[in-house]
Structure 1
Amino acid sequence: MAAAVNTPTPEIGTTNQTDDGYDKKCIFCKILKGEMGTELLHNDETVSCFRDIHAGAPHHYLVVPSKHVGNCKSLGKEHVPLVEQLVETGKEILQKNDVTDLNDVRFGFHWPPFCSVTHLHLHVLAPVSQMGFMSRLIYRLNSYWFVTADQLLQRLNSMS
């Protein structure tokens, strides 16, 4: 007979996540709850959007699930519609801000452990042609630390 694994059970009320999908320690959850004074450019039951405080391009937005979802490494095939909705919302925000050349836009995610916030967030950057040296490095295509939305969707769709 195998030995039982003694896994500690958290005390009631000590978990960070609430029933409504809010993580009390997550900065993005706090933004979505209105606790940080950040302007929401889009906010519905599924996704929300706000400006990145460390803009890497003239237009740099973060599109996030309205309920706490872990980073892109924790996603499964069932998250494909969510990721697609993040991208569509990003495109809508760009259009509302008069960005019409979607060929000069980058949609992507930092790959763990290279993300500073564990709440899933899509970076929407435009125009890419106006990004500075450091931004080109931080949001670099085909790197270990940044994947495009298309690459993530391809990865999720290939899961069994």
Structure 2
Amino acid sequence: MAEVEATQAALVDVSKTNSVPGEGYDKKCIFCKIVNNEMGTELLHSDEEVSCFRDIKPGAPHHYLVVPTKHVGNCKSLTKEHVPLVKQLVETGKEILQKNNITDLSDVRFGFHWPPFCSVTHLHLHVLAPASQMGFMSRLFYRLNSYWFITVSPLLCTCTKKAIVHDLMI
């Protein structure tokens, strides 16, 4: 009984966290609407920084999207200041996988679609597992470090390089 009450309390806390859109909300963005409970999508995780929900077109048995709770543009717009946020997206993705009994992180794919190949301009990390069970089309759409899909490490390097170039120009 106490466990049920704790689960209900956690669900109430999730709904309160994002009930009123504010700063960092784009009224045209579907992911902003999802994290603010305007779409009826089940949030698997939600706090002030990061939210997670299932992908509507799963490419693997477990396919989650981890997004900043506040609107952040696509991965091309990231700077070195966003590095901690990207790391938090990954950590949240790992936590969601563990809650769903996925412990083999060597058979997981984490990454972002590189513009113009992303359908939503709100930054979102794809978390797919097990990668070994992805179908042919999913292997193509989520191919590691392809022209349209970038994993976390190269993205963070890109953010850092942009910062170095910017510093050199000043």
TM-score tier, shorter chain, comes to: 0.7 to 0.9
Q: Which has the larger radius of gyration?
A: 1
Distance across 2 between alignment mates of 1:62 and 1:127? 15
Instruction: Give the aligned residue type for 2:148.
Output: W
Q: Displacement of 1:19 after TM fit? A: 4.8
Q: Which residue of structure 2 lines up, in the alignment, with residue 46 of structure 1? A: 49
The counterpart of 1:35, out of the listed 28, 34, 38, is 38
Listed as ranges, the matches of 1:79-90 within 5 Å are 79-90=82-93
Task: Normalising by structure 2, report the TM-score.
Answer: 0.82
Q: Which residue of structure 2 lines up, in the alignment, with residue 92 of structure 1? A: 95
Distance across 1 between alignment mates of 2:121 and 2:77? 10
**Unaligned residue ranges in structure 2 (runs of 5+):** 1-20, 165-170
1:59 aligns with 2:67: no
Structure 1 residue ranges, 4+ long, deviating more than 3 angstroms after superposition: none
Distance across 1 between alignment mates of 2:149 and 2:56? 18
1:154 aligns with 2:157: yes
Instruction: Give the aligned residue type for 2:147.
Output: Y
Task: Please list the CA deviations of residues 82-102 of structure 1 after superposition, one character each: whole Å capped at 9, or x if unmatched.
Answer: 000000000000000000000
Q: Displacement of 1:142 after TM fit? A: 2.6
Task: Normalising by structure 1, report the TM-score.
Answer: 0.87
Q: Which has the higher helix share?
A: 2
1:20 aligns with 2:23: yes
Alignment length (residue pairs): 143
Across the aligned residues of Structure 1 and Structure 2, the Cα RMSD in angstroms comes to 1.0
What percentage of aligned pairs have identical amino acids?
80
Distance across 1 between alignment mates of 2:84 and 2:58? 27
**Unaligned residue ranges in structure 1 (runs of 5+):** 1-17
